[in-house]
Structure 1
Amino acid sequence: MNYSIGRLAELTGVSVKTIRFYSDEGVLPAPERTASGYRRYTDDHRAHLELVRTMREIGLDLATIRSLGRRPLKEVLALHLRAVETQLTALQRTRTVLRATLDRDDPTDADLRRLHALGRLGRAEQAMLLDSFVDQVGGGIEARHQWLANMRDCMLPELPAEPTTAQLDAWLELTTLLADDDFRDNLRRSSDDFWAEPSALDAWRQTTAAMVDEIGRAGVAPDSPEAASVLARVLELTGQTREEWLRVFDEHDPRAERLWRLVAIVRGTEYQPPAVATAYAWLEQALRHSPGEPD
């Protein structure tokens, strides 16, 4: 059955002006026209228009509706539910910050910065931040880029719906750190040699495992007299001199560990450094405690 635009408006409760606008904007499929140029709508147009009206009533914008085409209503509603849940989570976080701010007698600039950051760092912005971090630090070495891509979602966990001030501040510091070009460049430069040669990477894994085992089995403090013999064995295992190791530690960016401490705070868990990080910390302390001893 064919309808004039006036009749379609009567049947659907949508004004003639709105129907014409939807047709012109591509939200409603273009109707055929009579020889005189009048629009003629079909039952398909009527069903589609009612779907568009439903989607508008639940809050979808025209750009979204246009991009969805003629998908089943259930699929459209599922997409909208995801959007609503994301908005609710963001609103809950904002509410938490506002409540904490209002509990203070004298709100500060830091409180305003938290609110501003929450408003500008939605999921899309977070995804772009992580993508750019992986691309910049990956630096053209495929193995490193893939490793970072696999770690991508771990580096910026979702804030709880009602975060504590500590969690929020850690999350904001984390986003700032991930966006820092100097931090990114340091990570890339310091890991170039590590990732450039696959065989060297395998050798590093074996050597590091042996070092972790040696230090762990010894069970002595790095500043104790017993540490000297353990240190000598570690230097022999790694094939690096005291000066070479000290140079590595001097060039190391402590923000790399800070990143994972922040991740733990956001997650509400206790930071547990990996065994290799604990071994490196022991090695650095032992080296700096006895700098004058021969290798």
Structure 2
Amino acid sequence: MFSSYDGLCGIGELAERAGVSVKTVRFYSDSGLLPETARSAGGHRRYGPGSLERLQVIRSLRTMDLPVSVVRRILEEEDTAGRAGGALEDAVAGQLRSLGSQLRALRWREAALRSVQECPAAERADRLRLIGAVKAPPSTAPLARFWRGWLPPRMPARSVTAFLEVAIPQPPENPEPGQVLAFARLNALVSRPCGGGGQTQPYAHRAAGARESAVLYAGLAKAYDLAGDEMRQGRDPHPGDALDGFVDAYAGARNTADTPDFRRALARRLGADPRIDRYWELTAELVGPRAGRPEPTPGSAHDWLVAALEAQSGAAQPA
């Protein structure tokens, strides 16, 4: 309660009690956040006993960087319901999301600066240009565009989405300098112009329709998973369930039988296919090793399976 005869106080006293400037109180009043109770005979603002608590609430909300429009919604909800509700919850959740993004960006920038600092002095200018081309936090949109140009044009959207989930590495939340560098190189790789007017497609893509490409990539996904399990155990390429599923994916997409002749022909075709090894090498650097071994990627699993197929096909050929 204020000590004046009418239980009200002026703008100066309110500002002093709240520990803010008169200009701040006037701004909140003019914005409609802190209504005045009355005006004195001289036209000066007068505030009621609840104004101090309301002003403190406003200050707390503004300290969390909430805009005036959001503070107004929170106060209006509290005035109507008698308590804070969904507007405050939504505002806090939004600020936490924003803060999380800012923290990720700061961690990325710190690792990027360390990457520049730790490289030889003669390489720093080039390193800075390479890393500076990537936003913080980084976007994977260039990688998605790269793969949409590489995959069969008539591939079903659901199959494309499923493949992108495993083919596109997500930037780590707390990256090391080497991971920032790997992502920057990956970004540069997929962003550079393709020679010859476009990307050269693998053999299996050239005649693949919607059904064939869906069959192919669904089967490849299963085969890559099985091959990845073998690779994590340190096993060299060999025939087995992973290779059978791999060959079956290509046979099913071409509506043909899995025979020794088909396997020999497939080994030759895959051996002549264009390769994007650098993409998978950088992906492995970005993901990081696990248990002392590089984590398998679809690219390294594909190479493991092709090696298994070539070894088997070579053994099956007549002397």
Partner of 2:79: none
Partner of 1:150: 165
Highest CA radius of gyration, 1 or 2?
2
Equivalent residues in 2 for 1:203-214 (5 A)? 205=219
How far does residue 196 in structure 1 lie from its aligned partner after superposition?
A: 0.9
* Paired residues of 1:93 and 1:162 also in contact (CA < 8 A): yes
Partner of 1:176: 188
* Paired residues of 2:12 and 2:22 also in contact (CA < 8 A): yes
Quote the Cα distance in structure 2 between the aligned partners of 1:162 and 1:196: 40
How far does residue 148 in structure 1 lie from its aligned partner after superposition?
A: 3.5
* Paired residues of 1:9 and 1:19 also in contact (CA < 8 A): yes
Quote the Cα distance in structure 1 between the aligned partners of 2:149 and 2:213: 24
Identity %: 21
**Unmatched 5+ stretches in structure 1:** 219-231
Structure 1 residues 201 and 50 mapped into 2: Cα distance closer, same or farther (>3 Å)? same
Q: Which of the two has greater helix per residue?
A: 1
For residue 275 of structure 2, what is the amino acid of its counterpart? P
How far does residue 180 in structure 1 lie from its aligned partner after superposition?
A: 5.0
How far does residue 263 in structure 1 lie from its aligned partner after superposition?
A: 1.3
Query: Which whole-Å deviations, capped at 9, do the CAs of 1:236-277 have from their partners, x for residues lacking one?
Result: 358x689xx63x655x4422x432221111233226455543
Quote the Cα distance in structure 2 between the aligned partners of 1:203 and 1:128: 21
**Unmatched 5+ stretches in structure 2:** 2-7, 75-87, 228-236, 241-257
Compute the TM-score of the two structures, normalised by the length of structure 1: 0.57
* Paired residues of 2:106 and 2:136 also in contact (CA < 8 A): no
How far does residue 122 in structure 1 lie from its aligned partner after superposition?
A: 1.3
- Worse-matched range after superposition: 45-54 or 268-277: 268-277
Structure 1 residues 129 and 3 mapped into 2: Cα distance closer, same or farther (>3 Å)? farther
* Paired residues of 2:239 and 2:308 also in contact (CA < 8 A): no
SS at match of 2:172: coil
Whether 2:238 is the aligned partner of 1:216: answer yes
Compute the TM-score of the two structures, normalised by the length of structure 2: 0.53
Whether 2:275 is the aligned partner of 1:254: answer yes
* Paired residues of 1:5 and 1:40 also in contact (CA < 8 A): yes
Structure 1 residues 241 and 276 mapped into 2: Cα distance closer, same or farther (>3 Å)? closer
How far does residue 233 in structure 1 lie from its aligned partner after superposition?
A: 4.9
Counterpart selection for 1:51 from 45, 56, 60 = 60
Quote the Cα distance in structure 2 between the aligned partners of 1:187 and 1:16: 69
Equivalent residues in 2 for 1:104-143 (5 A)? 104-117=120-133, 120-123=134-137, 125-126=138-139, 128-129=141-142, 141-143=156-158
Quote the Cα distance in structure 2 between the aligned partners of 1:181 and 1:79: 35
* Paired residues of 1:194 and 1:201 also in contact (CA < 8 A): no
* Paired residues of 1:156 and 1:174 also in contact (CA < 8 A): no
Q: How many equivalent pairs are there?
A: 249
Whether 2:239 is the aligned partner of 1:235: answer no
Counterpart selection for 2:114 from 67, 85, 96 = 96
SS at match of 2:176: coil
For residue 158 of structure 1, what is the amino acid of its counterpart? P
Q: Please tell me the root mean square deviation across aligned C-alpha atoms, in Å.
A: 5.2
Quote the Cα distance in structure 2 between the aligned partners of 1:203 and 1:84: 37
Structure 1 residues 51 and 160 mapped into 2: Cα distance closer, same or farther (>3 Å)? closer
